[in-house]
């Protein structure tokens, strides 16, 4: 999808479809809809449907007018944005996604979105529109032989403001949106098309394209590094594991901080010997979403070039039952030297991450973030709406929450107190890899915290949010690419 800027009046833009936002400035129950654009011709074109009461500006309300008088555009799409006072960039992002999905289904090839005049700046508006448009353009139908090749080819951003600043904002938003979709493409692949080896190859290719340093290590190096927890998971599979290390070290960046981004890359999670029920097991192809997230983030970082060092680490493996697989009761020695009693081989994510976090510290990372589809328990706690966030350091969490405000992604902090760690103490080893029946998201986080040690660390449990169970008007069913945008903003803000 091409993106371009137009500083012309919206009514003068030649396009298949002009899109404008309708907001409601009425107090409480009263409605007072208006087009959020100062162009008189656009207002006139929408006047009749607004006066009739048909268009009230309700969120995601969508009205398509053909051959609107006074406009160069072939159609006018009015999208409701809800109450003007509550209208945010996050709402706008969704509207742009909905515009792409709605117009694409109608065979429209190009459209122009009028940046609404709202509480936020025009730069923020075009950024939200571009990000949302890329988000909306993704579909997980690559394996359908009858898939429709409908695509939006070009998006024009119609905005008022300083040309260079707007263009910069559009270019950055493109990188962010495309990187999020890059992650979604990886997550979308089934496990026979996305083995640890293939994931590593995809990461390597991407790194070459954007000029990142990338190393991929196999079983030998994993054993040599004494990553007993990671290897304990990997040993059960015929597919070789991969330890993917991507480095971004820009000239002129200070020695410190070095941010470490560690992702869980289980390309299929059967549960291992503690095998999962077959109902729904097919979903476990997305158990590498945390790893894919970090690969997408590294791509964006390489292109956006912030002046801060970042190392991305993905621990990629299958979790399989076999004659070579680890068994409940086995004790593994992690890279840090801590011993782990394996209670349930299905709690494999924390094992691979334990060594990933330790390795990140060894490589000199001063701050850590991990992302993982780690627990069913986080889905019980937060459903599909929020990512579970855990942190051992309040200032780092504060920084992260500033990034959330920019990305518009929904996340909720959950506790990781010592009580949860106590639940994972083993009588025969240092830790158990499970913490009993209750508080499963927090016991898993407490386990990981032991491997972040005293390094400031954030853990994102994306089990409930990495895969959209239903389509929404602004986003397809399937991989969501959640956390990519927040992590990009987090790194840029450092």
Smallest separation (angstroms) from ligand BES to the CB of 352: 10
> CB under 6 A: which stretch of 87-95, 202-210, 372-380, 400-408 binds ligand BES?
372-380
Smallest separation (angstroms) from Mn ion to the CB of 346: 4
Is residue 347 close enough to count as binding ligand BES by CB under 6 A? yes
Is residue 373 close enough to count as binding ligand BES by CB under 6 A? yes
Distances (CA, A) of 425 to 81, 232, 338, 347, 433: 51, 19, 12, 15, 9
Active-site residue, from 25, 247, 276, 399: 276
Is residue 349 close enough to count as binding ligand BES by CB under 6 A? yes
CA count, 13 A, side-chain hemisphere, 93: 21
The Cα–Cα gap between 127 and 137 comes to 15
| CB closer to ligand BES, 178 vs 287 | 287
Smallest separation (angstroms) from Mn ion to the CB of 440: 12
Task: State the sign of the Cα–Cα–Cα–Cα dihedral 60, 61, 67, 69.
Answer: negative
Smallest separation (angstroms) from ligand BES to the CB of 299: 24
Smallest separation (angstroms) from Mn ion to the CB of 373: 9
Peptide bond into 90 cis (omega under 30): no
Residue 106 is a catalytic residue = no
CA torsion 30-35-36-39 (nearest 10°) is -150
Is residue 349 close enough to count as binding Zn ion by CB under 5 A? yes
CB-based closest residue to ligand BES: 376
Is residue 341 close enough to count as binding ligand BES by CB under 6 A? no
| CB closer to ligand BES, 16 vs 287 | 287
What the block records as the tokens of 382 is 């937060």
Q: How far is CA 372 from the centre of its chain?
A: 11
> CB under 6 A: which stretch of 130-138, 150-158, 205-213, 376-384 binds ligand BES?
376-384
Choose among Mn ion, Zn ion, ligand BES, none what residue 315 binds, the Cβ cut-off being 5 to 8 Å by kind: none
Q: Site size for ligand BES, by CB under 6 A?
A: 16
Strands 411-413, 457-461: pairing kind? unpaired
Smallest separation (angstroms) from ligand BES to the CB of 268: 10
Cβ-in-10-Å burial (0-12, 13-18, 19+) of 164 comes to exposed
Is residue 228 close enough to count as binding ligand BES by CB under 6 A? no
Is residue 346 close enough to count as binding ligand BES by CB under 6 A? yes
Task: State the sign of the Cα–Cα–Cα–Cα dihedral 479, 466, 476, 33.
Answer: negative
The set of residues, in sequence order, having a beta carbon less than 8 Å from that of 432 and lying 6+ positions away, is 340, 341, 343, 424, 425, 426
Is residue 239 close enough to count as binding Zn ion by CB under 5 A? no
> CB under 6 A: which stretch of 29-37, 72-80, 347-355, 470-478 binds ligand BES?
347-355
Closest CA to 431 of 451, 417, 414, 416: 451
Cβ-in-10-Å burial (0-12, 13-18, 19+) of 120 comes to middle
DSSP 473: T
Residue 425 is a catalytic residue = no
Find out whether 464 and 382 touch, Cβ atoms under 8 Å: yes
Is residue 489 close enough to count as binding Zn ion by CB under 5 A? no
Binding-site ranges for Mn ion (CB under 5 A): 269, 346, 348
Smallest separation (angstroms) from ligand BES to the CB of 199: 16
Is residue 139 close enough to count as binding Zn ion by CB under 5 A? no
Strands 62-66, 213-217: pairing kind? unpaired
Q: Hey, which bits of 326-437 come out as E strands?
A: 331-333, 339-341, 367-372, 387-391, 411-413, 431-432
Choose among Zn ion, Mn ion, ligand BES, none what residue 383 binds, the Cβ cut-off being 5 to 8 Å by kind: none
Smallest separation (angstroms) from Zn ion to the CB of 441: 13
Is residue 315 close enough to count as binding ligand BES by CB under 6 A? no
Closest CA to 227 of 366, 375, 340: 340
DSSP 107: T
Choose among Mn ion, ligand BES, Zn ion, none what residue 463 binds, the Cβ cut-off being 5 to 8 Å by kind: ligand BES
| CB closer to ligand BES, 347 vs 482 | 347
Mask for 241-280, x = binds ligand BES (CB under 6 A): ----------------------------x-----------
> CB under 5 A: which stretch of 40-48, 230-238, 267-275, 350-358 binds Zn ion?
267-275
CA torsion 480-486-488-490 (nearest 10°) is -160
Task: State the sign of the Cα–Cα–Cα–Cα dihedral 220, 223, 225, 230.
Answer: positive
Q: Which of 172, 178, 189, 287 binds Zn ion (CB under 5 A)?
A: 287
Binding footprint of ligand BES on the chain (CB under 6 A): 269, 287, 344, 346-349, 373-377, 379, 434, 440, 463
Binding footprint of Zn ion on the chain (CB under 5 A): 266, 269, 287, 349
Active site amino acids: 276, 350
């Amino acid at each position: 999808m091409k993106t371009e800027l137009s500083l012309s009046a919206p009514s003068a833009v030649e396009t298949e479809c002009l899109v404008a936002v309708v907001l409601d400035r009425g107090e409480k129950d009263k409605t007072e809809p208006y087009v959020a654009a100062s162009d008189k011709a656009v207002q006139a074109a929408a006047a009749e449907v607004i006066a009739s009461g048909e268009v009230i500006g309700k969120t995601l309300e969508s009205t398509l007018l053909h051959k609107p008088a006074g406009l160069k555009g072939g159609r006018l799409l009015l999208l409701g944005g809800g109450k003007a006072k509550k209208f945010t960039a996050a709402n706008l992002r969704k509207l742009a996604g909905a515009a792409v999905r709605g117009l694409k289904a109608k065979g429209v090839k190009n459209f122009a979105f009028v940046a609404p005049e709202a509480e936020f700046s025009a730069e923020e508006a075009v950024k939200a529109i571009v990000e949302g448009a890329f988000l909306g353009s993704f579909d997980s139908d690559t394996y359908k032989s009858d898939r429709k090749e409908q695509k939006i080819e070009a998006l024009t951003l119609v905005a008022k403001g300083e040309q260079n600043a707007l263009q910069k904002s559009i270019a950055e938003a493109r990188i962010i949106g495309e990187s999020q979709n890059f992650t979604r493409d990886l997550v979308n692949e089934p496990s026979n098309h996305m083995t640890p080896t293939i994931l590593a190859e995809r990461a390597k290719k991407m790194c070459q394209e954007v000029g990142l340093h990338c190393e991929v290590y196999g079983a030998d190096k994993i054993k040599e590094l004494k990553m007993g927890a990671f290897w304990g998971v990997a040993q059960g599979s015929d597919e070789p594991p991969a330890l993917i290390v991507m480095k971004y070290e820009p000239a002129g960046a200070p020695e410190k901080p070095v941010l470490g981004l560690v992702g869980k890359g289980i390309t299929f999670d059967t549960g291992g010997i503690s095998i999962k029920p077959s109902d729904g097991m097919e979903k476990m192809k997305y158990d590498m979403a945390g790893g894919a997230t970090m690969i997408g983030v590294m791509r964006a970082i390489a292109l956006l070039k912030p002046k801060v060092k970042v190392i991305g680490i993905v621990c990629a493996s299958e979790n399989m039952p076999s004659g070579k697989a680890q068994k409940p009761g086995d004790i593994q020695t992690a890279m840090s030297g801590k011993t782990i009693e394996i209670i349930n081989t299905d709690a494999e994510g924390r094992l691979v991450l334990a060594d990933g976090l330790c390795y990140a510290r060894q490589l000199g990372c001063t701050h850590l973030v991990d992302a993982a589809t780690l627990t069913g328990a986080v889905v019980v706690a937060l459903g599909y709406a929020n990512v579970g966030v855990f942190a051992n350091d309040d200032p780092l969490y504060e920084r992260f929450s500033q990034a959330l405000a920019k990305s518009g992604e929904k996340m909720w902090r959950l506790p990781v107190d010592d009580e949860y760690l106590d639940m994972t103490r083993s009588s025969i080893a240092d830790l158990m890899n499970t913490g009993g029946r209750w508080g499963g998201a927090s016991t898993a986080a407490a386990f990981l915290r032991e491997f972040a040690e005293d390094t400031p660390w954030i853990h994102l449990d994306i089990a409930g949010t990495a895969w959209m169970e239903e389509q929404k008007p602004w986003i397809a069913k399937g991989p969501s690419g959640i956390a990519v945008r927040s992590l990009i903003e987090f790194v840029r803000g450092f």
